[in-house]
Structure 1
Amino acid sequence: MIRLFLPLLMLGVGPVAVVEEPMPTDALMRTLAEGDLAQARGDQAALAAAADTLKLLGARPAEGQDDLSSLWSQQAQAGGAVHAGPVYRGRALGPAYRRGSLAAGGRVTLRQLFLAGQRAQISVARATGIAASLSVRVRNADGGTLCAKPVAAPQADCAWLPLFTERYAIEIENGGSAPATFYLVIR
């Protein structure tokens, strides 16, 4: 009897599908995610390409953050990747990026100056492969909320036009029960 059912059971069992989250749509956030994936996989050529792309996008680390472009480039060269580097260094004042981690229930508040009359935009994405319950909120100098969103795949974006040059508070919160890593891009 078991001989009859065993082949039938085996027909119903297929390969387990691995579901990957979509990559962020923002070019800078996608590059950060691709660089992290390349680093985790030990893919030195892809790591060098991500380092070059960060340079080409004109991105620079936020204050107190590692320069991932330089770090990844050094790691790729140490791992044997051969690349000439980007031909163009990018703009002097490009977007800023930050990679951060939050403990379960943790929150971080960053203060950023945005100029009056110039479009302001931030984007937040979870690190690839990490299921987290992150949210982002932007508050003006008076404490009023301009934007409040959950960070769902592939990313959460907040954009506004400041009427006055002032500092805005960017709050990222981990409402989940596990630590979470995120990317923040400020334009």
Structure 2
Amino acid sequence: MIALLLPLLFATAMPSSDLGPRDPVLRALVEGEAAQAQGDGATLGEKAQLLTALGATPAPGQQDLASLWTSEAQSRGATVAALPYRGRALGPAYRRGSVVPGGSVTMRQLFLGGQRAQILVAPTSSGDGHLSIKVQGAHGETLCAKPVGGPQANCAWMPLFTERYDIVIENDGAAPADFYMLVR
């Protein structure tokens, strides 16, 4: 099974000439959604397996896309072999969201002190709004503020203490904006 997954994992680690997200989980989410929209069952199944192999799980209250895409791929005639489950401690959690024009979405997330924290945001398509991300600490201090330009934006830091942080995604464009957010 490992021999089957290694080429898949190496393919996601290789630099690409396209403008998609560089992070393998974000790339799988964006490419999986595109495959779903195009009715490409084989690619949809591959992206579902990749999400599972990378250990990505949905954030609380979000739909499990790996399971959904696997079922949909199989219903379209694609063969999707189940990966063996060996458990995991923690892994990346993804969330799909949408922001109205001129609006914002705020989420609170607990990060552990002394462990690297990382948040990545990728628009679902290049024409969606003008997104930006801001991360604020428990006392309102801004740790990161970036536009989501290009394929993804990345905010990373090392929390000194275990505490909750506000993650704010804003859309200052004239069109609604859909995005994927990945929290590590």
Q: State the TM-score, normalizing by the size of structure 1.
A: 0.86
8 Å Cα contact 1:120-1:161 kept in structure 2: yes
Alignment-derived partner of residue 42 in structure 1: 39
Corresponding residue for 1:23?
20
Cα deviation per residue 1:132-181 (whole Å; 9 max; x = unaligned)? 20000000000000000000111100000000100000000011000110
- The Cα of 1:86 is off from its aligned counterpart by 2.6
Of all paired residues, the percent bearing the same amino acid is 59
How many angstroms apart in 2 are the aligned matches of 1:90 and 1:97? 18
Structure 2 gap segments, 5+ residues each:
1-16
- Corresponding residue number in structure 1 for 2:136: 139
Residue among 157, 165, 168 paired with 1:168: 165
- Quote how far apart the aligned CAs of 1:92 are: 3.7
Q: How many pairs does the alignment contain?
A: 168
**Hey, what does 2:6 align to over in structure 1?**
none
Provide the secondary structure at the position in 2 that maps to 1:149.
Answer: strand
The AA in structure 2 aligned to 1:135 is: S
Runs of 4+ aligned structure 1 residues displaced above 6 Å come to: none
Residue in 2 aligned with 1:186? 183
Q: Following the alignment from structure 1 to structure 2, what is the Cα–Cα distance between the partners of residues 63 and 106?
A: 22
Q: What's 1:8 paired with?
A: none
Q: Conserved in 2, the CA contact under 8 Å of 1:21 and 1:154?
A: no
TM-score, normalised to structure 2's length? 0.87
Q: Which amino acid aligns with 2:95?
A: R
**Paired residue for 2:154?**
157
Task: List aligned pairs for 1:37-76, cutoff 5 A.
Answer: 37-76=34-73
Per mean C-alpha deviation after superposition, the further-off stretch among 81-90 and 107-116 is 81-90
Q: How much has 1:85 moved relative to structure 2? A: 2.7
What is the distance in 2 between the residues matched to 1:64 and 1:182? 16
**Deviation (angstroms), 1:89:** 5.4
